[in-house]
Chains A and B, each alone.
Chain A
Amino acid sequence: MKKAGRIAALLTAAVFLLAAAPPARIISTATVELTSLENGKLGILIETLAEEECEEIVNIAVLECRQKDGSWKEVARYEYRAEKEDFPTEDLSGMTNTAVSERQKIGRYYRIRGIHCAWAGGQSQIVSSRTEPLQASRCSG
């Protein structure tokens, strides 16, 4: 009984220490960008720059549309993944991805939520980003 209590105490301490430990800092800059192009096209850019070479980087750009009640609904999701083993000779300290979403409703507001994930030295970091709402238009700019 005493042994079980000691193990529980150790586990609690370990969880506490893990929770108290500062998060790893791998990501230097996380950028997400939404551009209104012509005829309801939306340009999307997501970029993650790390302060060191990473084992893996994942960029997720979520395109959301504002509903009449003010809530946001996901209409498209773009996921990009790069692993060091796939690019052994190339530096993997950042990743930039772009996409164009077509046939969005003209006049409606959209935004991008970015999720930037990086793994390095056995640690990971996830950073969120989000653009301001942007109206899909018939004409560019």
Chain B
Amino acid sequence: MDRAHETYNSEEGAERLLKEAFGVDEDRLLGDFLRAQTEVKDPEILQSPDGGFEKLVNAIEERHLTAAGRQTEREEEKESEKPLSSFRGARRRRLAWKAGIVAAAVALMMLGMAITAGAKKNYQYSVRQRDSLKNDMLLSNVDTLPEEDRLEEAYQEISGQACIPVLRLGYVPERLTYLKTEIVKNPVIRATMYFRYGDRRFHVVQQTREAETSVNVISDRMDYESVYNELLKKEIVIRRVKTEAGEEYSACIVDGDSYYQLSGGMEEEIFRQITENVYLEN
């Protein structure tokens, strides 16, 4: 009964020590540690009260000394109380386990703080990196961001003036720079978008036919390959010609009364990616 009470007190004592030191129970400590590993924010990190750590260490040492004293007494008793040895062994193991829990909690707490600090540093660093990257993008792409805006404006203008589903580039290569859009509305509605790709040019023609029309498109490009556009659910034929300036490609897409043509000089892979990623916005 006494032993059971003592064991109960030991368990209680360990938890009490933790609560006194940190004001929380061991589950919370372990939870906080795990949370600390996943980069919690500063305000969420558990703060130890002033002198809490020292208080806990002192209490553990005191407890350890007391337990050691009791253990010596028990070892003396062991000689006279052989039948109880197995129970005592179990109790010692429980005590050792409890002491281990407390020590582990302290170690985890310290390690957790260290890891948290490390993680926090990494987190801050990566955030700075991200922010920096964003800023870099903003700064280094000062010339391109307004062009993206201008490209968006061009799409809006075509959509508004031409009243046709606008063919948009789902993939805009890094070297592709939007230049301008020319829209004619009479007798047909036709928008021609001009881009620069390095020293070469890339054009996107968007047109709708509302009346009987005969059109003749002349180019020296020949059928080369076909690609499948998932967004349009269409097989698109790519035409190619080799010139002194390099290879030039074109692709034509017909959608009801509207037709679209992409053409320009660039690498085959780039043109293929553009073709595979164009889509119609209604």
A35 touches B209 (CB 8 A): yes
Which bracket fits the contact residues of A? 35 or more
A96 touches B182 (CB 8 A): yes
B240 within 8 A of A: no
B211 touches A45 (CB 8 A): no
A102 to B192, CA, bound (A): 26
Contact flags (1/0) for A32-51 with B, using CB distance below 8 Å? 11111100011111010111
B194 within 8 A of A: yes
- CB of B131, distance to nearest CB on chain A (Å): 35
Which bracket fits the contact residues of B? 35 or more
A42 to B186, CA, bound (A): 10
A43 touches B188 (CB 8 A): yes
Q: Which of A7-15, A70-78, A130-138 contacts B (4 or more CB under 8 A)?
A: A130-138
A133 to B193, CA, bound (A): 29
Contact flags (1/0) for A118-133 with B, using CB distance below 8 Å? 0000000001111111
A97 to B183, CA, bound (A): 10
Q: Which of B44-52, B141-149, B257-265 contacts A (4 or more CB under 8 A)?
A: B257-265
Given A44-B187, A51-B201, A90-B180, CB of A32 within 8 Å of CB of B216: yes
Question: Given B182, B199, B203, B261, which contacts A52 in the complex, CB threshold below 8 Å?
Answer: B199
- CB of A118, distance to nearest CB on chain B (Å): 12
Q: Which of A35, A112, A134, A137 has the most CB of B within 10 A?
A: A35
B218 touches A29 (CB 8 A): yes
Q: Which residue of B lies closest to A130 (CB)?
A: B216
- The interface residues of chain B, by DSSP majority, are classed as strand
Q: Which of B213, B243, B250 has the most CB of A within 10 A?
A: B213
What A residues does B216 contact at CB under 8 A?
A: 31-33, 114, 129-132
What B residues does A108 contact at CB under 8 A?
A: none
Q: Which residue of B lies closest to A133 (CB)?
A: B214
Given A33-B188, A43-B188, A51-B243, CB of A93 within 8 Å of CB of B218: no
Question: Given A33, A52, A137, A140, which contacts B214 in the complex, CB threshold below 8 Å?
Answer: A33
What B residues does A111 contact at CB under 8 A?
A: 214
What B residues does A67 contact at CB under 8 A?
A: none
What B residues does A116 contact at CB under 8 A?
A: 218
What A residues does B210 contact at CB under 8 A?
A: 140-141
What B residues does A106 contact at CB under 8 A?
A: none
Question: Given B203, B211, B265, which contacts A35 in the complex, CB threshold below 8 Å?
Answer: B211
A35 to B264, CA, bound (A): 27
A53 within 8 A of B: yes
A37 touches B211 (CB 8 A): yes
B225 within 8 A of A: no
B175 within 8 A of A: no
B96 within 8 A of A: no
- CB of B176, distance to nearest CB on chain A (Å): 13
B245 within 8 A of A: yes
A43 touches B187 (CB 8 A): yes
Nearest 6 pairs of A and B residues by beta carbon: A43-B187, A131-B214, A141-B211, A30-B218, A33-B215, A132-B214
